[in-house]
Chains A and B, each alone.
Chain A
Amino acid sequence: MKGGMKMKRILVLVMALSLIIGITSVIANPSTNLTANVCSNIVSATVTDVVNFGNVIPGKTYTGNDIVITGDGSTAGVKISVDSITGTFFTNNLKLDGVAPIGKFWTFSCTSLNDQCSCVWDPASSSTTPTLEVPTDYTSTGAQTGSIVYLVTAI
């Protein structure tokens, strides 16, 4: 009986000791708690579409709807440039803000928001006005199609 009591005491002592050791090892853990949230390097852009000049007459200049460009969704600075123009009619006669479109670009610098993987943009958005200058000596008639090819890259 005496031995049983003794063993119970030993058991309680062992359990108490192990509990103390366990708690101490967690509290006195020498490792520093380092945390960081690495945001993905996302490059993103939006461009509004539909540039329809309707019926055009040689010798006149036509203005289309403004094209709105943004860097929405990116977590870094973005550059959006006009990479090429397709359709011979537009390659030769389309202008953006009055200048030849190829090589024209818009940049959006990003100021990161603390604790968020997002940006405050400068500028928030840009717009450009397409114009079509139809040469006086242009002789072809009928529908002409083409496209503006944008290239989106990280700054």
Chain B
Amino acid sequence: MRYNFLFFIFYFLIIISNSVLAIEFSPGYLNYEMEINQILCKNITVNSNSDFLNISDRWSENEDHFKESMYYTNTSDYHGLSLDYLKVIKSGSKFSVCISGNYSGEYHGLLIMQEEQVGSTIMRGGVWLNVSINGDYSKPKDSYTNIKESITAKEAVQEKTSENKSSITGSVIGIIQRNIWTTAIIFILIAIIAYLLILAHNRKKQNQFEGF
């Protein structure tokens, strides 16, 4: 009986020693709707067993193999796209992916976050990048060196909007709370004004009385 128990413990230890690799990221898609040479940045959050992750990107040649990762073999240069992101990131961090394009069109890419190898496994998280660039074909106007500095206010607002999507509940409840507070403040102000009026009246009356 005792040996059976020891065997069970040993077997259990063998089973749990097979490590489980995990990766988690959000969101699964990033959509970029923009004009030629406009720079748009969006954020990705990633969690992993690995301390650090290597970031890269690859693109499909056309829409024929949309979301078939095997066919995403081109570089962004192939489509005249410029991407800016950190090449190595720490697990648990949020990082920004900025894209600009020289030519109008629809482009489909995959941003890959690769974990360090553990045992015989490497995990990659892939975020689908859907880029739509409006406008006429044109030559590149600017170099891509000042990406972060030249993000327009419109883009910043778009980014902020997408970040705040998860806080709809909070903002709605906030409106009701604001109404209550406004009412309370009005009530207190009216009470203070009424009290001051009474004080002024009493003082005036007292002065009149002393005058007599």
B84-110 interface code vs A (CB 8 A; 1 in, 0 out)? 000000000000000000000000001
Selected from B122, B124, B168, B198, the residue in CB contact (under 8 A) with A86 is B122
Q: How many A-B residue pairs have CB under 8 A?
A: 167
Closest residue of A by beta carbon distance from B126: A153
Instruction: Please give the distance in Å from B121's CB to the nearest CB on chain A.
Output: 5
B169 surroundings in chain A (CB, below 8 A):
35-37
A49 touches B119 (CB 8 A): yes
Q: With A4-B202, A44-B23 in contact, is A36–B168 under 8 Å at CB?
A: yes
A41 touches B29 (CB 8 A): yes
Within 8 A of B (CB), among A38-52: 38-52
B120 surroundings in chain A (CB, below 8 A):
49-52, 145-148
Closest residue of A by beta carbon distance from B18: A50
Q: With A149-B124, A154-B29 in contact, is A15–B191 under 8 Å at CB?
A: yes
Closest residue of A by beta carbon distance from B24: A44
B21 touches A47 (CB 8 A): yes
Asked if B186 is at the interface (CB within 8 A of a chain A CB), the reply is yes
Q: How far is the CA of A47 from the CA of B117 in the complex (A)?
A: 13
Within 8 A of B (CB), among A49-87: 49-52, 65, 72-74, 76, 81, 83, 86
Within 8 A of A (CB), among B184-208: 184, 186-187, 190-191, 194-195, 197-198, 201-202, 205
Instruction: Please give the distance in Å from B181's CB to the nearest CB on chain A.
Output: 11
**Chain B interface residue number, banded:** 35 or more
B26 touches A43 (CB 8 A): yes
Q: With A37-B169, A40-B26, A151-B69 in contact, is A50–B19 under 8 Å at CB?
A: yes
Selected from A8, A86, A103, A154, the residue in CB contact (under 8 A) with B70 is A103
A10 touches B194 (CB 8 A): yes
Instruction: Please give the distance in Å from A116's CB to the nearest CB on chain B.
Output: 15
A-B contact pairs, 5 of them (CB 8 A): A7-B197, A18-B191, A21-B183, A26-B180, A154-B128
4 nearest CB pairs, A to B: A154-B28, A22-B183, A44-B24, A49-B119
